[in-house]
Amino acid sequence: MYKIAVIPGDGIGKEVMEATLHILDASDIEFEFKFADAGDEYAEKTGIPLPQETIDIVKQSQACLFGAAGESAADVIVKLRRELDLFVNLRPVKAYPGTKCIFDDVDFVIVRENTEGLYSGIEEYTEDGATAVRVITNKASERICRFAFEYAEKTGRKKVTAVHKANVLKKTDGIFKNNFYKVAEEFTEIETDDRYVDATAMFLITHPNMFDIIVTTNLFGDILSDEGAGLVGGLGLIPSANIGENQGLFEPVHGSAPRLAGKGIANPSAMILSAVMMLDYLDENEEARKLEKALITVLRENKVVTADLGGDATTMEMAAEVKTKFVRE
């Protein structure tokens, strides 16, 4: 039995979490779900967006499913990443049938460094405005690049591309690029190259199939991930994993979407796919493929899907349909 921390959070996070747990209830694998609080709504009640109790629950679990946080996201998910040293943000960008894909065969993964860069939060006001410090270290650069190559080996991917702006940010991105090629020397069977982030942004739109795994720094990875979502039908279809040496946290990237909250129409796909990533993290690969296949079947049939996918189903109706397919697999 796996102990899983569950943080529904805010807005549609609670709704897509309910839908996903409804499906996992039919799994052949046993889970013990431990619910924990975090986010805007909890902060309104207590003044604290992320209580220590929640951090402890996650630390004591084998994995965590996270729904969404609203305005308090920086105080919740960013803090959890730091507290648990979740140095990898893993975002697959994959085209599924029955969705509004620009390209039908897109399938690449963005490996984003999760702990430093401009998101280190080192800012100060000056007489003329403000200054932010971009922190790039050898340690963080090497370990994120190593993860990317090891992930390529584990998943059978053939190419890793480093994305940077070392022609302008010569020192900080120079360190990142140098560490990339240093690590690459140990993985001679994997093709490597590097590209500037602005060129990468263009090639994602014009030639996305040239990418297999992209490894990059924090801010660049955040931006390119959302661009990738646009290629395959939007944020409602993009899961993510935050991974460290001893812990994994899995969340959809769509946020709390307050304008949709409470209407029961949120697309649960990204949360379901985040659960697929959790199963892979737990090495329950057969169950992961079974769940992913069930979702793909529902997307391909395009009968019981939410409005953003062209249907009129509620969140829970779509989840029930995925659960039916899941049980039959």
Tell me which CATH homologous superfamily contains domain 1-89+236-329.
Answer: Isopropylmalate Dehydrogenase (3.40.718.10)
- CB burial string 40-76: b at 16+ within 10 A, e below: bbbbeeeeebbeeebbebbeebbbbbbbbbbebbebb
Q: What is the three-class DSSP state of 20? A: helix
Q: Please report the pLDDT score of residue 231 as a whole number.
A: 94
Scan for tokens 């992209």, then name that residue: 214
Would you kindly state where each structural domain of the chain is located, as residue ranges? Answer: 1-89+236-329, 102-231
In this chain, the answer to whether the domains covering 1-89+236-329 and 102-231 adopt an identical fold is yes
Q: Please report the pLDDT score of residue 78 as a whole number.
A: 87
Q: Of 10, 194, 222, 308, which is the active-site residue?
A: 222
With beta carbons less than 8 A apart as the criterion, state whether 262 and 232 touch: no
Whether residue 28 lies in the annotated active site: no
Q: Please report the pLDDT score of residue 121 as a whole number.
A: 83
**DSSP states of 150-174:** HHHHHHT--EEEEEE-TTTSTTHHH
Residue 299 CB partners (closer than 8 Å, separation 6+)? 96, 97, 98, 99, 269, 305, 309
Burial environment of residue 79 by CB neighbours within 10 A (0 to 12, 13 to 18, 19 or more)? middle
With beta carbons less than 8 A apart as the criterion, state whether 242 and 251 touch: yes
Q: Of 42, 96, 119, 281, which is the active-site residue?
A: 119
The predicted model scores a pTM of 0.94
Q: Of 85, 104, 193, 198, which is the active-site residue?
A: 198
Q: Of 226, 263, 303, 312, which is the active-site residue?
A: 226
Q: Percentage of the chain with pLDDT > 70?
A: 100
pLDDT tens readout for residues 261-284: 999 999 999 999 999 999 999 999
- CB burial string 128-147: b at 16+ within 10 A, e below: eeeeeebbbeeebbbbbbbb
Q: Which of left, alpha, beta for 194 (phi over 0: left; psi -120 to 50: alpha)?
A: beta
Residue 61 CB partners (closer than 8 Å, separation 6+)? 3, 4, 5, 34, 247
CATH of region 102-231:
3.40.718.10
Q: Percentage of the chain with pLDDT > 90?
A: 92
Q: Please report the pLDDT score of residue 40 as a whole number.
A: 96
pLDDT tens readout for residues 66-99: 999 999 988 999 899 989 999 999 999 999 999 9
Nearest one of 282, 280, 267 to 313, comparing CA atoms: 267
Whether residue 119 lies in the annotated active site: yes
Q: What is the pLDDT along the chain (329 residues), one digit of tens a residue?
A: 999 999 999 999 999 999 999 999 999 999 999 999 999 999 999 999 999 999 999 999 999 999 999 999 889 998 999 899 999 999 999 999 999 888 889 999 999 999 999 988 899 999 999 999 999 999 999 999 999 999 999 999 999 999 999 999 999 999 999 999 999 999 999 999 999 999 999 999 999 999 999 999 999 999 999 999 999 988 889 999 999 999 999 999 999 999 999 999 999 999 999 999 999 999 999 999 999 999 999 999 999 999 999 999 999 999 999 999 999 87
Q: What is the residue type of 14?
A: K
Whether residue 165 lies in the annotated active site: yes
Q: Of 37, 40, 151, 165, which is the active-site residue?
A: 165
Q: Please report the pLDDT score of residue 235 as a whole number.
A: 85
14 vs 12: CA distance, rounded Å = 5
Nearest one of 205, 224, 207 to 215, comparing CA atoms: 224
With beta carbons less than 8 A apart as the criterion, state whether 292 and 41 touch: no
